[in-house]
Amino acid sequence: MLDLGCGTGLLAAALADLGHQVVGLDASPEMIAVARQRATPGTTFAVQDMAEATWEHPFELATCTFDAFNYLLTPARVSSFFRRLGGLLVPRGLLVFDANTAHLYAAHHHGTHHREVGGQRFDQVCAFDPATGLASTDFRFEDGAVERHRQRAWGLSELRGPLEAAGLTVVAALSGTSGEPYREDSERLLCVARKAA
C-alpha cells in the first residue's frame, strides 16, 4: 500500500498493524522524521512531493487522506498526481482519497479561532476565496511565529477528467465516511477510483 501525504504516519502505522506493507510519502521532512520515529515493521517512509511520486514497485492500493489532497493547488498538480498514480498502481489497483469541497470552506472556514494544544496558545486565522477556490489557514503563535497553510477546494466534477486521462475510473463517490452518496453540494468528497485492467 502507498500512503500519499502521509504526515506523521498515523494511517500507515494502522495499516501496517493490520499486516500490510506500507510506504508513506510526504513533502515535509519534519513530518517524515516523526513518522520514522513511530515506524513499525511493514512501514517505510520517504520525503517526496505526492504530485511527483515515484517508487521502484507498483502498489495494490494508494491512499491520500486527512485533506492532504487539498494541498494540490492547481489543475496541473492534480493531473500530475493522478498520472503518477496511474503508473504506480497495479492493474485494477485502487486509489482512495478525500477532499474538502468549496461548500465546506464557504460554510466553516472563516474568522479567528483561539486555540490551546499541549499548553501552547495560538490563533488559527481562516479565510476562503470562493472565486479561486483557495483557502488559507494561518497559525499565529504567541512568540510571533506564523505557520501558513494554503489549500484548494475540489469537487468531483473537476476531477473526473484528470482521473480518466490517467486511466482511473471512479467506482464510488461518497460525502465522507457516513456512506451518503456524493452530491455537488456535499462538503466532503471521499472517492474510490480503479486503474484499468
> Would you kindly state where each structural domain of the chain is located, as residue ranges?
2-101+153-195, 103-151
pTM above 0.85, yes or no: yes
Cα–Cα distance measured from residue 63 to residue 175, given in angstroms and rounded to the nearest whole number = 17
Question: What's the average model confidence in pLDDT over 110-130?
Answer: 96
The DSSP symbol for 182 reads P
| 31-76 pLDDT tens trace | 999 999 988 899 999 999 999 999 999 999 999 999 999 999 999 9
What pLDDT shows up at residue 178?
83
Average pLDDT over residues 82-108: 98
DSSP state of 181: B
Q: Which residue has the cell 501525504?
A: 5
Q: Which CATH architecture has domain 2-101+153-195?
A: 3-Layer(aba) Sandwich (3.40)
pLDDT in tens, 63-74: 999 999 999 999
Residue 128 near residue 147, CB atoms below 8 Å: no
